Chain A
């Protein structure tokens, strides 16, 4: 009897998939929120009772307070705008240029073969190590950071687009040509849309690479930006302000991540989600 009852309470194993997924999503979201709040509480609690040294770890409340001062009395918002602006511009330029380079490999197999090893070699170069050179070349202002973000993203985008091009079914090209298409038609109607999932797939990676490039650029030398703020706070041993910088960057990173998710959706609009 008891065993019977237990089985009933578990409910059927196979359910309506749509309803199941929706319930799962709601529950997961609630769980995520609760976990986040718990972590913050734990952080606050542990620094208060002294298990975590609040000099190094600061604490959520102190961070909020310091952050508020940095907004009202300092230049936190301007710094945020500067850092996000450089990142986004570098990201857009790098991703676009990379995609164009990658797609251009479709036009000539010979050119693609010649260029490929150089692409791989350039991908292996640690671009961040070039930062000092770039700062000297492009100055300590905006340009050097955009350039770093650009270099961080361009090769990734080029390789992604090239993979897309390489994976195109050659027979699709034959089919279009048999319908009277010229190569430019094939390019527009098959090559670009067929490579789109590859190019879109690296957007999330590229936005964080661009941010990393920008921040390293600001670390090297800059008058503005969150990177400079963190460096400065570290030099004057203001750990609370360092944490404000780190939290701001995290928030920025999340916002830009959501932005790329939106962009992904737009670029893949009208497509079958499965394809």
Chain B
């Protein structure tokens, strides 16, 4: 018998009080037209993410996680439903949330420093002021000595750091991270997870984090949304409830292992039939 006592289905807007800086995804769907066929990628997703939380999204690849992020960030138009930030409709409006796409997308002709200030430049902050603001941040968060290097001189982990600092400098309350550590080796990935937790602790942003790594999701998050196989629907929402600050010992915790078992079972159900 399976024990799913910890997972509650998600009922947004029911009973809970409204809080500031809350991100809501209301009944969002996305259909793509392919060869005349309608292909459902995301089906009626409902999420409600409270301010300052670290929320992970986990699901089989191709289930519409990136699509969901494109919708939240306003880059894509949902076929139905809407996105609310603090109760305000931000569907199809870009620039309300920080978004780090699946690739690091650093501009190869710019130095790391000039890469991370691009959001400020767009906002009209003079280059010199923007650099002054970014330098201490680069130095504090592990890019000391790389400020004037070009991206291709950096390792994958370092590039992801730069990408995230660029997103942070854009200074929005909500940031979306699409599999930021997906391409890194296990060792670097662990380092980057601690690094991310430190940043999250310092900045207190609301983080939405896509991953396909169960350990990573549990280790980092307050709650985890599990998506079904295509068409992506929300299968479950899990409260992690592990104490913070977390460290290596967290991964040996009874609860950690229990959550891991449950998530493994759930994702096994969603695996593509071979």
Which residues of chain A have a CB within 8 Å of any CB of chain B?
A: 169, 171-172, 174-181, 185, 189-190, 193-194, 196, 270-272, 274-275
Interface contact B122-A180, CB-CB below 8 Å: yes
Interface contact A176-B122, CB-CB below 8 Å: yes
- Known contacts being A171-B103, A275-B152, is A176 close to B118, with CB within 8 Å? yes
Measured between alpha carbons, how far is A196 from B103 in the docked complex, in Å?
22
State which of A172, A189, A194, A271 has its C-beta within 8 Å of the C-beta of B122. Answer: A189
Interface contact A175-B95, CB-CB below 8 Å: no
Interface contact B109-A180, CB-CB below 8 Å: no
Q: How far does the Cβ of B76 sit from chain A's closest Cβ, in whole Å?
A: 9
- Known contacts being A274-B152, A275-B108, A275-B150, is A175 close to B121, with CB within 8 Å? no
Q: How far does the Cβ of A124 sit from chain B's closest Cβ, in whole Å?
A: 33
Measured between alpha carbons, how far is A271 from B115 in the docked complex, in Å?
13
Known: A179-B95, A179-B119, A180-B94. 7 other contacts (CB 8 A): A177-B94, A177-B95, A180-B122, A180-B170, A181-B122, A185-B122, A272-B153
Chain A interface mostly helix, strand, loop or mixed? helix
State which of B98, B101, B121, B123 has its C-beta within 8 Å of the C-beta of A174. Answer: B101
Residues of B within 8 A of A271 (CB): 109, 150
Residues of B within 8 A of A172 (CB): 105, 107
Q: How far does the Cβ of B147 sit from chain A's closest Cβ, in whole Å?
A: 14
Interface contact B94-A178, CB-CB below 8 Å: yes
Interface contact A272-B108, CB-CB below 8 Å: yes
The yes or no answer to B75 lying at the interface (CB within 8 A) is yes
Residue of chain A at shortest CB distance from B104? A175
Residues of A within 8 A of B160 (CB): none
Residues of A within 8 A of B99 (CB): 175, 178
Measured between alpha carbons, how far is A272 from B114 in the docked complex, in Å?
13
Residue of chain A at shortest CB distance from B73? A178
Interface contact B118-A272, CB-CB below 8 Å: no
Measured between alpha carbons, how far is A88 from B22 in the docked complex, in Å?
61
A-B contact list, 8 entries, CB within 8 Å = A171-B105, A177-B94, A179-B95, A180-B119, A185-B122, A190-B107, A270-B109, A275-B152
- Known contacts being A178-B95, A275-B150, A275-B152, is A193 close to B122, with CB within 8 Å? no
Measured between alpha carbons, how far is A172 from B108 in the docked complex, in Å?
11
Measured between alpha carbons, how far is A139 from B107 in the docked complex, in Å?
48
Measured between alpha carbons, how far is A69 from B94 in the docked complex, in Å?
71
Measured between alpha carbons, how far is A90 from B95 in the docked complex, in Å?
44
Residues of B within 8 A of A177 (CB): 75, 94-95
State which of B103, B107, B123, B166 has its C-beta within 8 Å of the C-beta of A180. Answer: B123
Interface contact B101-A178, CB-CB below 8 Å: yes
Interface size on B, residues (CB 8 A): 25
Residue of chain B at shortest CB distance from A174? B75
Interface contact B109-A193, CB-CB below 8 Å: yes
Which residues of chain B have a CB within 8 Å of any CB of chain A?
A: 70, 73-75, 94-95, 97-99, 101, 103, 105, 107-109, 118-119, 121-123, 150, 152-153, 166, 170
A-B complex: 3 closest residue pairs judged by Cβ atoms: A180-B95, A272-B150, A275-B108
Residues of A within 8 A of B118 (CB): 176, 179, 189
Measured between alpha carbons, how far is A176 from B115 in the docked complex, in Å?
11
Residues of A within 8 A of B123 (CB): 180
Measured between alpha carbons, how far is A115 from B181 in the docked complex, in Å?
42
Measured between alpha carbons, how far is A269 from B108 in the docked complex, in Å?
13
Q: How far does the Cβ of A34 sit from chain B's closest Cβ, in whole Å?
A: 38
Residues of B within 8 A of A189 (CB): 107, 118, 121-122
Residues of B within 8 A of A193 (CB): 107, 109
Residues of B within 8 A of A181 (CB): 122
Measured between alpha carbons, how far is A193 from B115 in the docked complex, in Å?
13
Measured between alpha carbons, how far is A27 from B107 in the docked complex, in Å?
37
Residues of A within 8 A of B109 (CB): 193-194, 196, 270-272, 275
Interface contact B122-A179, CB-CB below 8 Å: yes
Measured between alpha carbons, how far is A176 from B75 in the docked complex, in Å?
11
Q: How far does the Cβ of B143 sit from chain A's closest Cβ, in whole Å?
A: 17
Residues of B within 8 A of A180 (CB): 94-95, 119, 122-123, 170
Q: How far does the Cβ of B100 sit from chain A's closest Cβ, in whole Å?
A: 8
Residues of A within 8 A of B150 (CB): 271-272, 274-275
Residues of B within 8 A of A175 (CB): 99, 101, 105
Measured between alpha carbons, how far is A181 from B119 in the docked complex, in Å?
8
Q: How far does the Cβ of B56 sit from chain A's closest Cβ, in whole Å?
A: 20
Residue of chain A at shortest CB distance from B120? A179
Residues of B within 8 A of A190 (CB): 107
Measured between alpha carbons, how far is A185 from B118 in the docked complex, in Å?
10
Measured between alpha carbons, how far is A172 from B166 in the docked complex, in Å?
13
Measured between alpha carbons, how far is A174 from B99 in the docked complex, in Å?
10
Measured between alpha carbons, how far is A200 from B98 in the docked complex, in Å?
34
Q: How far does the Cβ of B60 sit from chain A's closest Cβ, in whole Å?
A: 22
Measured between alpha carbons, how far is A261 from B98 in the docked complex, in Å?
41
Most buried by A among B101, B109, B121: B109
Measured between alpha carbons, how far is A28 from B127 in the docked complex, in Å?
43
